[in-house]
Amino acid sequence: MAYNSQLFIILATLALVSPCILATEFIVGDDKGWTINFDYQAWAQGKQFYVGDKLVFNYPKGAHNVFKVNGTGFQQCAAPLDSVPLTSGNDVISLATPGRKWYICGVAKHCAVGNQKLLITVLPSSFAPSPSLTASSPNTSIPYTSAASASLGIKYGWMMAVVGILGLLMA
């Protein structure tokens, strides 16, 4: 009986931790990277971003930078005066909270003239589909849809089944 109890605890822990492991890392701009004259809104449109995912901004060091801004800063291509840009050329941003996120390049007129800016909507991690469904999910503008609820069932259904079966075995 003690063995069943230990197995139950281990599997329940794995079921709870696995959503963190399933986070997606998005290379902004894919093979083009973070550069001028690229349509980042079109790039983001076919993707769904969730809390726990990461954005990777790849660019030649010294050629660009990344500022996280608010909606006004995004529209005006204005970097915050009190903010320090990311400048490594391989900048990784973890998406820690749901909501709209705005990013711009603060070099010269890269944002205003070169359209080097990105707007995404981050969804709560509890609605994250399995990684195989992320690439095929077309809608990022509506955070709570029936598709998101169905994906939730797919992702967590196996976890609940394992926990339920183990609970029956322990009874």
pLDDT tens for 56-113 read: 999 999 999 999 999 999 999 999 999 999 999 999 999 999 999 999 999 999 999 9
Task: Decide which of 17 and 154 is more confident.
Answer: 17
Asked if pLDDT for residue 154 goes beyond 70, the answer is no
Superfamily of domain 2-170 in CATH is: Cupredoxins -  blue copper proteins (2.60.40.420)
How close are the terminal C-alpha atoms of the chain, in Å? 10
CB neighbour list of residue 9: distance below 8 Å, 6 or more residues apart: none
Q: What pLDDT does 128 receive?
A: 56
Q: Where are the domains of the chain?
A: 2-170
Pairing assessment for the beta strands 99-104 and 67-69 based on DSSP bridges: antiparallel
pTM: 0.67
CA 23 distance to own-chain centroid: 7
